[in-house]
């Protein structure tokens, strides 16, 4: 677990981040393929305070301006740290680290409002801090920062979670503290990033049962204290951040995925340096630009990715100020919209910064009015839903 002396209200550990998409629109203006033509929704998991919550903010599809939605924030468990959206249905899930369970909500397609699904919250374990859902929307996987367990749940038609035989499964008999779990875009493979000992564990998935089989050649070593991860949209590359890779500075490592075997290999010129204590990694919907929020620096590192080699080139002006209010304002999570227009960053100062993406070079510019109040306390993860 990563702890910052400059921010004693809550500790910063890994949180699962994600982006939902609904088409390939790349022109200015609202997305023509999305169900909402005026506003999309941004969800923020808030860990702090006497009651953890999820905030729901409307994002104007043209300007990116955020406004709180009626009924927000919604109560969750204790220590809400991660979010995951079912890619094929209107359900969203929250990992509650301290209460050791997972809250599930159905999303009102018109308003973005949340309603608990039957049986929520669902028991996991203390320390659960990362969630992912397979592309077919049938199974949810949850990892814990305090054990070597990986929890597997089936997702029912009403959004409730069911137990899967063999869950939780042991990632490693030598023990590990997981910081992130991710499924590749095809749903064929699942990877768990562990910070202690540092490494990446790979598994093949049974799409019917959700079961996992450990792949040969794993764990794969990673640099520093690996924490956050994502795939590029094509699934060719896995990106992994780590703290303390370059002295006090963090790093971003790129692994190439062998689609036939699930094997991972480090790409050339990897890792690259980012800021101190990277708290996430996300790509724009085109798979061109990479953004890493750095909590201790209050910055966002930005790169262009070569789609063939996976090599990263720093974008001019990077790192960009993350834009929170006050002296305690480090970014704790990041997401992008589905049309490569905006980057959203939740900050320790209980607000959300919104940046416009320069389509030509990936540079970030804060929009008017940014940052916007989150409505909760101690934001830890953020998710865009069109």
User: How would residue 38 be classed by pLDDT, with cut points 50, 70 and 90?
Assistant: low
Task: Please give the structure tokens belonging to residue 128.
Answer: 């659960």
**Rounded to whole angstroms, how far apart are CA atoms 182 and 227?**
12
Residue 1 lies in a domain: no
pLDDT per residue over 215-224, tens digit each? Answer: 999 999 998 8
Give the CA count within 13 Å in the CB-facing half-sphere of 40: 28
In-domain check, residue 364:
yes
pLDDT band of residue 252 (cuts 50, 70, 90) is very high
Q: Range of 360's domain?
A: 18-385
Determine, yes or no, domain membership for 4. no
> CATH number, domain at 64?
2.130.10.10
Q: Please, what is the Cα angle at 369 between 366 and 372, to 5 degrees?
A: 95
Residue 13 within any structural domain of the chain: no
Q: What is the pLDDT of residue 202?
A: 97
Q: What is the pLDDT of residues 147-168, one digit of tens each?
A: 889 999 999 999 999 999 999 9
pLDDT, residue 175, reads 65
Please report whether residue 7 resides in a domain: no
* Domains of the chain: total: 1
Instruction: Please report, rounded to a whole number, the percentage of residues in the chain having pLDDT higher than 70.
Output: 89
pTM assigned to the model: 0.90
Weakest mean pLDDT among 120-124, 168-172, 308-312: 168-172
Q: 324 Cβ partners below 8 Å, 6+ apart?
A: 298, 330, 331, 347, 348, 349, 351, 353, 371
Higher pLDDT, 108 or 5: 108
Asked, for residue 306, whether it belongs to a domain, the answer is: yes
For the ranges 20-29, 33-42, 72-81, 162-171, the one whose mean pLDDT is highest: 72-81
- Summarised one tens digit per residue, pLDDT across range 92-120 is 999 999 999 999 999 999 999 999 999 99
Average pLDDT over residues 168-189: 88
Give per-residue pLDDT as tens, 134-144: 999 999 999 99
The answer to whether position 144 is within a domain reads yes
What mean pLDDT is predicted for residues 235-260?
A: 96
Question: Which residue, among 55, 124, 45, has the nearest Cα to 79 in the 3D structure?
Answer: 45
Q: Which residues contact 379 (CB under 8 A, 6 or more apart)?
A: 44, 45, 46, 47, 55, 332, 333, 346, 347, 348, 350, 352
Q: Give dist(CA 97, CA 246) in Å, integer.
A: 29
> Does residue 2 form part of some domain?
no
Instruction: Say which residue the tokens 């980012």 belong to.
Output: 274
């Amino acid at each position: 677990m990563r702890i910052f002396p400059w921010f004693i209200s809550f500790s910063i550990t890994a949180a699962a981040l994600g982006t939902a998409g609904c088409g390939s629109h790349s022109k200015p203006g609202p997305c023509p393929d999305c169900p909402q033509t005026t506003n999309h929704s941004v969800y923020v998991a808030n860990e702090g305070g006497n009651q953890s919550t999820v905030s729901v903010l409307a994002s104007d599809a043209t300007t990116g301006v955020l406004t709180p939605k009626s009924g927000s924030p919604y109560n969750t468990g204790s220590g809400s740290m991660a979010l995951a959206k079912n890619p094929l249905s209107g359900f969203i899930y929250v990992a509650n680290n301290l209460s050791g369970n997972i809250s599930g909500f159905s999303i009102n397609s018109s308003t973005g409002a949340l309603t608990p699904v039957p049986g929520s919250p669902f028991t996991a374990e203390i320390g659960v801090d990362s969630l992912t859902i397979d592309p077919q929307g049938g199974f949810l996987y949850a990892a814990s920062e305090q054990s070597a367990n990986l929890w597997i749940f089936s997702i029912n038609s009403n959004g409730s979670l069911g137990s899967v035989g063999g869950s939780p499964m042991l990632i490693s008999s030598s023990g590990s503290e997981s910081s992130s779990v991710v499924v590749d875009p095809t749903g064929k493979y699942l990877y768990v990033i562990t910070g202690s000992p540092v490494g990446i564990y790979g598994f093949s998935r049974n799409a019917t049962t959700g079961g996992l089989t450990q792949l040969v050649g794993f764990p794969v070593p990673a640099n520093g204290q690996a924490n956050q991860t994502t795939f590029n949209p094509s699934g060719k590359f896995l990106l992994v951040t780590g703290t303390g890779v370059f002295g006090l500075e963090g790093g971003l490592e790129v692994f190439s995925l062998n689609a036939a075997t699930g094997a991972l290999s480090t790409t050339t010129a990897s890792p690259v340096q980012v800021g101190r204590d990277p708290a996430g990694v996300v790509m724009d919907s085109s798979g061109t630009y990479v953004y890493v929020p750095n909590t201790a620096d209050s910055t966002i590192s930005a790169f262009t990715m070569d789609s063939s080699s996976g090599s990263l080139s720093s974008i001019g002006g990077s790192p960009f100020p993350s834009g929170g209010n006050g002296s305690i304002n480090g970014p704790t999570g990041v997401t992008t919209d589905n049309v490569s227009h905006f980057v959203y960053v939740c900050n320790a100062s209980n607000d959300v910064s919104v940046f416009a993406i320069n389509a030509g070079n990936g540079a970030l510019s804060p929009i008017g009015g940014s940052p916007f109040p989150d409505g909760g306390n101690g934001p830890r993860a953020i998710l865009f839903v069109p």
